Structure 1
Amino acid sequence: MKTKKILNVISSFFLGIALLIQPSTSFAGGHSLDELITAAQKEGEVATYWHSSRMGKKVAKAFEEKYGIKVLATKMKDSEMTERIVREVSSGNVIVDLVGYDDGPMLDTVLTPKGFVENYVPPFLIKNIPEDSREPLIYLWQPFVFGYNSETYGDSCPIKSLWQLTEKEWSGRFHMWDPRIASSMLQMFSAMEDRSDDLVASYKKHYGKNLKLTEANAGLEFVKRLAANKPVLYNEDYEIAVAVGTRGQDKAPIGIYSLGRHRENKKKNLALALCDVDPFKGLNQPTYMQIVKGAPHPNAAKLLAYYVLTQEGANPWVGVVGAYSSNSSLGSSPDNPYPTAEAWDGTLLVSNNTNVANRRQNLMDFWIKHSN
């Protein structure tokens, strides 16, 4: 399995090298903003691996026009990004400078403690970054939401409780990312374990009777039943959004996808709408920004990190529906259901990185077992 191979590659690096590198956090960086700009311009370019194509398509051009520094941006999935970071740092041949990375559990338990990345919080903005988002630095919050087709079902979601997704009526009609590929799905499953009491209460509220557990907690019980109900799995959430939101369907599916896909309603004439479903509307996914140890252009990396946390640099994500900056002074799109990430008020799951790291392989095996 690809995930196991990647983890084995990473483990072999740990065994094969003497990890004398220590993690570090820089809040000052030794520069005023003007000094940082001058130092970055002398380096002339910066290379990124990023979770989003918007870094290369929008941010790179604007950053180069503003500062005269070229951005070499590569969109990359977390698993490949992890492997490349480990390989480059371990070999001493570092190509990348700055990464935008979704896999918090891997970051907290491998990349940071083993010294493959360095945390940098721009001191010029630190007062606007909540303390719990500074180490490791979260630069973006992206809700992944349960959504439905408003043309098919009207103004209200066809389900009221998530447990309905485990019923026969929705067999083969729930669309989601493949947990073997998307770490966000394993993060969601782990968060469900952490909030099992909410799932128990939701079951009682909807069915009027107590949930009978066949697993250790209601989170695992839900995952087991969902897997057995044969959801349709995808590699990309754009495909999920199209499958759910395409017009003219009599029995449109429900799906989970990034809230940003609601912008496809205008672009692709879709009919996506947010499910107001109990007990969770989705998962609030943090994305982290880190400088790679031994980055060849460290000052340009710091300047780009700063830029991405300003309104201008964040606009490709927060200027449209779907995401919120960790910089509390920045605005978000008026098309978002709520003005800030905090305003979702507990209706989005948030995973604990350590818990996910400890459960990751067991959750993967559990999903595969019950989906076959």
Structure 2
Amino acid sequence: MSSSTRRIRRTQRPVPGIALAALLAVLAGATACAPSSRQGDDAAAPGTAAPSAEIDDPADFDLDALVAAAKKEGSITVYDSSGDITKVAEAFTAKYGIKATGVKNKVGDTLEKMTREAQADNVTIDMTLYEDGPSLVGELLPQKVVRTWIPADLADDVPAANRSPLLVLQKANVWVYNPKLFPEGCPVDNIWDLVGPEWKGKVALQDPLGKPNIVEWFNQLSNGADQALRDAHRAAHPGEELKTSRKTAAEEWVVRLAENDPVLTSADDDVAAAVASPNQKQPRIGLVSNAKFRDIEEKHYAMRVCDTLKPWSGYLYPKYGAIATKTKHPNAAKLFTHFVLTAEGIDHEMGAGGISGSSAVPQGSFSPPGLTDWKKELFAFDPKYLAKDFADTEAMQDLWRLSHS
């Protein structure tokens, strides 16, 4: 078992000592091979949204007073799985004169570190821009390791769907191909083509056991896209209904993908290189973050989104803003949250495109070649399934692991 696999499985389990009674209830009845409700007094029930983010009374909110209080605290440390957080922190410091440190860290490691810091009453991570919604809703929030908060002066710009928990940004993972090898366009036009024999050993992606949002995508497809996948299968195989003993079409697709000898990597950089590097001669399709399109010019990559792929060219994955409950810099954390809900603050995270959690912030101006309408062409996660995604995480990991072995 790889180190990344061990890490993700470990971080899906609560740390003893925090909300113990609730967590025992969460774990009761769980099995390795089937999803469970994982419900407890402090856990969101599967199928329900997480508690809405806190919003102060508008009459009590004073941005100038918040800035003054944050300056008295002196500093802030923010963890994120993207290296862009360093630029956001620099911009925050330049604007407010408050020392901000941005740290790139894998989401599973951030989960574990923040949980243990809360347990030890020794918090060094003041807040996080966090990409794993299921563990946020299933662990960090119910254990009161973090909380989510929306500044009252920006609350009207945050749609209700982006409040449980606070969604700061959506980025994209997209299916890509090499236009030099396929000058007439993407060689596949249906997601079921990727699991067929003609693409055996030619589909590249990060190992799902090391990238939580891929597993979450699998679960989101199971929970909200069963009919769309069945319709896509019918389109790929006219007159043929999907035959499966699995609970959902998504599970069947996941099993077929795992069994089709995909090229698994530990980073999107390797997926992009496997598809698009200058000397690449092997025809491949890859799943990468939209951020990898920033490498095209510097690395001379040939890469384009599979814009003809149905029913989606990829998926939107959310990034949430969460403040450590026991932070020693609560006002600085609130001010940083305010900052990333503005165009000025989130701009550095949107260098390769993205959609802000605030309707007042325009979508990032850059869009990967071949992707024209993010909302129509990409599958979007539904926050109401986050608690169920958490409950189903290990079962989906096991389904992948057993199918890929």
Check whether TM > 0.5. yes
| Alignment match of 1:47 (pick from 77, 92, 95) | 77
What is the letter of the counterpart of residue 203 of structure 1?
H
TM-score by length of 1: 0.92
1:13 and 1:86 in contact (8 A); partners too: no
Normalised to the residue count of structure 2, the TM-score between the two structures is 0.85
Q: Once structures 1 and 2 are overlaid, which stretch shifts more, 29-38 or 177-186?
A: 29-38
SS at match of 1:160: coil
CA distance in 2, matches of 1:118, 1:45: 19
Per the alignment, residue 218 of structure 1 pairs with 249
1:153 to 182, 188, 192: 182
Change (3 A) 1:18 1:212: closer
Matched, 1:85 2:90: no
Measure, in 1, the Cα distance between the counterparts of 2:221 and 2:137.
20
1:26-73 deviation digits (Å, cap 9, x = unpaired): 3228541111111111111001111211111x1122211211111122
Distance across 2 between alignment mates of 1:343 and 1:102: 18
1:258 matched residue in structure 2: 289
CA distance in 2, matches of 1:21, 1:185: 26
Match of 1:70 in 2: 99
Q: Secondary structure in 1 aligned to 2:293?
A: helix
The AA in structure 2 aligned to 1:289 is G
Q: Is the 8 A contact 2:150 2:166 kept in 1?
A: yes
2:230 corresponds to 1:200: yes
Instruction: Return the offset for 1:343.
Output: 5.2
Partner AA of 1:141 in structure 2: Q
| Distance change (3 Å), C-alpha of 1:3 and 1:321 | closer
Name the structure 2 match of 1:367.
400
8 Å contact kept, 2:75–2:99 = yes
The equivalent residue for 2:268 is 237
Distance 2:246 2:257 in 1: 13
CA distance in 2: counterparts of 1:13 and 1:76, whole angstroms = 24
Contact 1:324 1:332 in 2 (8 A): yes
Correspondence for 2:258: 227
Change (3 A) 1:82 1:65: same
State the one-letter code of the partner of 2:315.
Answer: L
Q: Which residue of 2 aligns with 1:311?
A: 343
Q: Does structure 1 residue 6 correspond to structure 2 residue 11? A: yes
Deviation string for 1:346-371 (max 9, x for gaps)?
64142521221121111011101010
Cα distance in structure 1, aligned partners of 2:255 and 2:81: 29
Matches within 5 A, 1:239-318: 239-276=270-307, 277-318=309-350
Instruction: Please give the secondary structure, in 1, of the residue aligned with 2:129.
Output: strand
Gaps of 5+ in 2: 1-5, 24-40, 44-50
Do the aligned residues in 2 keep the contact of 1:122 with 1:306 (CA within 8 Å)? yes
Per-residue deviation, 1:166: 1.1
Inter-CA distance 15–28: structure 2 relative to 1 (3 Å threshold):
closer
Q: Does 1:187 align with 2:216?
A: yes
Q: CA deviation at 1:327?
A: 1.5
Q: What is the CA–CA distance in structure 1 between the aligned matches of 2:42 and 2:325, rounded to whole Å?
A: 9
Check whether the contact 1:241–1:257 (CA below 8 A) recurs between aligned residues.
yes
Contact residue 19 and residue 143 of structure 2 kept, 8 A: no
Kindly indicate whether the alpha-carbon contact (under 8 Å) linking 1:260 and 1:323 is maintained by their aligned counterparts in 2: no
Equivalent-residue separation in structure 2 for 1:243 and 1:21 (angstroms):
44
Once residues 13 and 150 of structure 1 are traced to their aligned partners in structure 2, the CA distance between those partners, rounded to angstroms, is 53
Q: Percent identity, aligned pairs only?
A: 30
Give the C-alpha shift of residue 164 in structure 1: 1.2
Change (3 A) 1:330 1:291: same
* Distance in 1 (alpha carbons) for counterparts of 2:372 and 2:323: 25
What SS does structure 2 have at the residue aligned with 1:220? helix
Whether the aligned pair in 2 keeps the contact of 1:262 and 1:322 (CA below 8 Å) is no
Written as runs of structure 1 = structure 2, the 5 A alignment for 1:24-63 is: 25-28=53-56, 30-56=60-86, 58-63=87-92
Q: Which runs of no fewer than 5 residues in structure 1 stay unpaired? A: none
Q: Which residue of 2 aligns with 1:356?
A: 389
- Between the aligned partners of 1:201 and 1:24, the Cα distance in structure 2 is 34
* Cα distance in structure 2, aligned partners of 1:341 and 1:112: 35
Q: Could you tell me how far 1:151 is from its partner in structure 2?
A: 1.4
Root mean square deviation, CA, Å: 2.5
Structure 1 position 335 matched with structure 2 position 403: no
State the shift of 1:245 in Å. Answer: 1.5
Contact conserved, 1:176 with 1:256, CA < 8 A, in 2? yes
Output the CA distance in 1 between the equivalents of 2:101 and 2:391. Answer: 34
